[in-house]
Amino acid sequence: MLTSMTRRPKDGLWQNPDFMRLWGAQTLSAIGTRFTREGLPIIAALTLDASATDLGILVALSMLPGVLLSPFVGAWIDRTRRRRVLIMADLLRAAVLLTLPVMAWLDAITIGQVIGVATVVALFSMVFQTADNAYLPTVVEKDELLEGNAKLATTDALAEIAGPALAGVAIQTLTAPFAILFDALSYLWSAVLLASIKRPEPPLVTGEHTPDLWRETREGLRFVFGHPVLRPLTLCLATLAFFLSFFAPLYVLYAVRDLGIQPGLLGFIVALGGISGLVGARLAAWAGRRFSVRRILIGALLAYGVVICFIPLAQGPLWVAAGALCISQLFGDGLWVAFSTNATVLRQTVTPDSLRGREAGMVHLLTGGLGLIAALTAGFVADRIGIRIVLWAGALGVFASSLWLLALPRNVDQRYSGD
């Protein structure tokens, strides 16, 4: 790690080759991921004629292994080299995704295979995200975390612009299974870039006890729920995950079947969110330097709740329905990026390096567990009372989630900024 004597200038991350490699790896992965995110539900909905319940099961089962294993994965990551974990996760995701175009070529693809692929990809995406959250402070300084996370959020925004639009066209042209081939290749390139990072990781802090994943998992749980900042923030993220997971199994089905939007047009609508996210990434860094993080988190989340209501409001002629979805994408993603970027920086700032894996694992356990329940429930309920009502419940739940943030200390910036 660099010391304060070698602190880089304001544009220093552009001159940090290891961060640029990490950034490049995530850029490739983020664009490719959009092909799978759009492709799997379309395979299920259009090729295999899946119902809302089927899509709910698809999302729920894909999340289950990650939810069950996330606390132990966090403890394991705190005791291993995180870059190796990132590379392993990339290679395994690439391998399992390659099975889809192969089986499609043989005309043997099934809903069981789609669920299996989604499960393995989701599991190792959880592993990657947990390790990545812990690894970033290795390649940047503490006072560069906001800039680093903002740049990574910019990557997601650019991927949201290019990825869904390209995915929609590729899915219509090549069919979804073959379009997903791009995602597999993106993971391979990501692994190559990660392997080229040269900066060594700091020595592992193993503590005085022999490795014990159960004990270390309990330590992570006690740390998160005993911390005055992490406790309300984690509960907010968990509640958000529950209500936003109403959208995960239903959004594509709602747009394609209920609103009559073709995959190509839907890809371009989703891409508008990338433009919003790009602005949100710039806004996140700007606001984070000028306003209280408590005010940013509460304000961004409330505004996001207003904008996401345009999704269940969408109806009528195609241009009106598409316009409502465009509004939700064009403003919602930017507000979400501003919220999540500052929330991530706050989590990284207040968590010691030796606990970052476990902290991330606990967050994933709660967000993934509640998200799994919500996705499964949403698909089942939507088949009985309609998709739109379920989406309304999810949108209104965003407002309820913001109430946890009122418990954040009012002086959180002064106490935990590290200045």
Q: Which domains does the chain have, with CATH numbers?
A: 17-200+211-416 (1.20.1250.20)
Q: What is the per-residue pLDDT for 6?
A: 41
Separation of alpha carbons 336 and 232, rounded Å: 18
pLDDT band at 176 (very low <50, low <70, confident <90, very high): low
C-alpha span between 167 and 175 (Å, rounded) = 10
Per-residue confidence (pLDDT) for residue 162, from 0 to 100:
67
Q: CB neighbours of 92 closer than 8 A, spacing ≥ 6?
A: 120, 124
pLDDT of residue 22: 85
**Span 119-135, pLDDT tens digits:** 888 888 878 877 887 78
Q: Amino acid identity of 383?
A: D
In whole angstroms, give the CA distance from residue 168 to residue 265. Answer: 7
Distance CA 224, CA 359 (A): 6
Dist CA 12 CA 163 (whole Å): 28
Amino acid at 192: V
> 3-class DSSP state for residue 351?
coil
Task: Judge contact between 73 and 363, C-beta under 8 A.
Answer: no
Q: Give the count of alpha carbons within 13 A of 394, CB side only.
A: 31
**What are 300's two structure tokens?**
């961004």
Q: What is the pLDDT of residues 211-261, one digit of tens each?
A: 566 676 777 788 888 889 999 999 999 999 999 988 877 887 888 888 888
Length, in residues, of the chain: 419
pLDDT tens digits, residue range 390-416? 999 999 999 999 999 999 987 776 444
What is the spatial distance between Cα 241 and Cα 243, in angstroms, rounded to a whole number? 6
Q: What angle do CA 103, 108, 111 make, to 5 degrees?
A: 95
With beta carbons less than 8 A apart as the criterion, state whether 247 and 390 touch. Answer: no
Of the CA atoms within 13 Å of residue 153, those in its CB half-sphere come to 30
Task: For residues 84 and 261, give the distance between their C-alpha atoms in angstroms, rounded to a whole number.
Answer: 42
Q: Which of 60, 45, 40, 49 is nearest to 101 (CA)?
A: 40
State yes or no: pLDDT of 206 exceeds 60: no
Matching residue, tokens 């989340």: 301
pTM of the model: 0.67
| C-alpha to C-alpha distance for 213 and 216, rounded to whole angstroms | 5
DSSP 417: S
Tens digits of residue pLDDT in 330-381: 888 889 988 988 898 888 888 887 787 778 778 877 887 888 788 778 878 8
| CA 221 – CA 53 distance, rounded (Å) | 33
Distance CA 329, CA 326 (A): 5
Spatial distance between the Cα atoms of 59 and 115, rounded to a whole number of angstroms: 8
What is the radius of gyration, based on Cα positions, of the chain?
Answer: 21
Sign (positive/negative) of CA torsion 184, 188, 193, 198? positive
pLDDT tens digits along 24-75: 887 777 777 777 776 777 777 666 776 777 777 776 776 777 677 777 777 7
Q: Is residue 180 a contact partner of residue 36, using CB atoms and an 8 Å limit?
A: yes
> Mean pLDDT over residues 314-332, rounded?
88
| Calpha distance 408→298 (Å, rounded) | 10
Torsion of Cα atoms, 358 then 359 then 361 then 366, to 10°: 140
pLDDT-derived band of residue 4, with 50, 70 and 90 as boundaries?
very low
Instruction: Give residue 234's pLDDT.
Output: 93
pLDDT given for residue 298 in this prediction: 93
- Locus of tokens 């919602």: 332
